[in-house]
């Protein structure tokens, strides 16, 4: 899914919410689904790719865009405001 398609799908979800055709929980689910699809299909600048953290604790499930698995690990530590090595997780390219 490209960026324009993702934005259109999110706009449609918001329109349905605003018109009363969808409740908040359903709208949230639609938006999350769009974002996850966009992230897993992400084709950014050369070298950038989505990576997902797996493991225990706060890092589990996070998806970031990075140039390498090492860069992805650093981004996750930065996002969580944690010191390097303080969390136990692996990263895998999606």
**Residue 4 confidence (pLDDT) above 80:** yes
Residues 59-94 pLDDT 10s: 999 999 999 999 999 999 999 999 999 999 999 998
* Burial profile 19-41: b = 16 or more Cβ within 10 angstroms, e = fewer: eeebeeeebeebbeebeeebbee
Domain spans, the chain: 3-40, 49-93
Q: Are 56 and 16 in contact (CB under 8 A)?
A: no
Residues 7-52 pLDDT 10s: 999 999 999 999 999 999 999 999 999 998 998 888 777 789 999 9
CA dihedral 58, 55, 82, 79 (to 10 degrees): -70
Question: pTM of the prediction?
Answer: 0.72
Q: Give me the chain's average pLDDT, please.
A: 93
């Amino acid at each position: 899914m490209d960026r324009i398609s993702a934005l259109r799908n999110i706009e449609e979800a918001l329109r349905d919410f605003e018109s009363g055709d969808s409740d908040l929980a359903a709208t949230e689910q639609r938006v999350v689904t769009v974002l996850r699809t966009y992230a897993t299909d992400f084709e950014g600048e050369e070298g950038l790719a989505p990576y997902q953290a797996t493991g225990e604790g706060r890092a589990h499930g996070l998806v970031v865009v990075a140039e390498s698995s090492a860069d992805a690990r650093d981004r996750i530590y930065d996002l969580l405001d944690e010191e390097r090595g303080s969390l136990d997780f692996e990263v895998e390219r999606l």
